[in-house]
Amino acid sequence: MHALIVVESCFGNTSRIAAAIADGLRSAGAEVTVTDAASGPTADGHDLVCVGAPTHNLGLPSARSRDEAARRGAKVPTTGVAEWLAGDPRLAGVRTAAFDTALPSAFSGSAAKRIARRLRAAHASVEGRESFTVAGSPVDLAAGELDRARAWGATLAS
C-alpha cells in the first residue's frame, strides 16, 4: 500500500500527529509520504490519502486565521488544506481519511469534519475521520494523542 498524508500545521501539533499516523501506517507495512498541502500534491499512485489540518474558528484554517496564528508566533503556510482541496488533487475513487487537532470542547468545531465533507464532494471514499486533542498554554498535544494517532494509522492500513 502507498499512502500519502497531506497536512497543514501552524504550531507543529498537526504535523506531529501526521508523523505518528505515518508511523502507524508503516508499522502495518505501508509506504508513506508526508507532505505539506501548500506543495500541491496529487493522489496519483496512492492507495490511501490522509488529509489533516488544525481546527481554526470551528473549521478549516483560512488566510485570516493563518494571519492570526502568525501574529501569535506560528510559522504558517501561505496556502493550506482548504486551498488544496479546492484545486484538483485527483481524489475521485481514492480511499481517504480526515484528521485534525482541536481543543477539547464541543464548541471548538472540527476541521476533520469539513475535510471529510470536501473529500466526499471530490468523490473520494472517506474511510475515517478523527480529531486529536490539544490543550494548555502554550497549546500542545494532550497526553496519549501521539499513541492514539499511531494506532489509528495502523487501522487505516487494513
Instruction: Specify the 3-state DSSP secondary structure of 134.
Output: strand
* Cα 135 to Cα 102: distance, rounded to the nearest angstrom: 8
Provide the pLDDT for residue 26: 98
pTM attached to this predicted model: 0.95
Q: What's the mean pLDDT in 139-153?
A: 97
8: which 3 cell numbers?
Answer: 497543514
DSSP state of 109: B
Q: Which residue has the cell 483560512?
A: 62
Cis peptide before 138 (omega within 30 of 0): yes
Provide the pLDDT for residue 112: 98
pLDDT tens profile 26-81: 999 999 999 999 999 999 999 999 999 999 988 999 989 898 988 988 888 889 99
Domains of the chain are 2-156 (3.40.50.360)
Q: Hey, what amino acid is at 58?
A: L
